[in-house]
Amino acid sequence: MKGLAIQYPAVLEKDGEGYTVTFPDLPEAITEGDDLEMALFNAAEALTLALEQRINDGDPIPAPSKVARARMVEPDVAIQVALLLRLERERQQKSVTDIARALDTSWASAQRLERARGNPTLRQLERAAAALGKRLHFELV
C-alpha cells in the first residue's frame, strides 16, 4: 500500500506474442494480454476479482510485497474503499461493532462498508472515516 492507494506488484512475462501477468501476493490472480496495454488492463481486472473474492469469503488480504521490476497495479475503486476501511479498522484494533456504534447504525450496515460491492454513499464514507479518526481524500489521476 502506498499512500492512500492499494497497489499490488504484477509480474509481466513476455510469452510469444503477448504477456502473462501474475501477482506474487495473490497466486489466484493470473491473466494475459496481447500487448502491454491490454495485459495491464486485464491485470487490474484480475486483481480486482481476486481481492473481491477474498473479501467476500472473509479470507485474509495479504499486504503488498516489494518485487523488483514489477508493475504496481490498483484494483477498482470499490475494492480500494472496502480494503482501506477494513485495514484501518484492523490497524486500530476496532471491531465492526465498534464502528456500528460510532455510526449509530446496525452491525450489518457497518459491515457492508467493507464489502466489495457495498455501494456506500459519500456521506457514509465520510462518517466511517471520521469514526476511524480519518478524513476522505479523493484524487483524479
> How many CA atoms within 13 Å lie on the side-chain side of 68?
0
pLDDT at 4: 62
Dihedrals φ, ψ of 126, to 5°? -60, -45
- Helix, coil or strand: residue 57: helix
Contacts of 29 (CB under 8 A, 6+ apart): 22, 23, 43, 46, 47, 49, 50
Q: Give me the average pLDDT of each 10-residue run along the chain (141 residues).
A: 74 93 97 96 98 91 90 93 91 95 94 89 92 87 73
pLDDT at 50: 97
Predicted TM-score (pTM) of the model is: 0.84
Taking the domains of the chain in order of start, what are their residue ranges? 8-73, 77-131
C-beta atoms surrounding 88 within 10 Å: 16
pLDDT at 123: 92
Q: Beta partners for 8?
A: 73
Is 3.30.160.250 the CATH number for 8-73? Answer: yes
pLDDT at 20: 97
Contacts of 80 (CB under 8 A, 6+ apart): 5, 6, 74
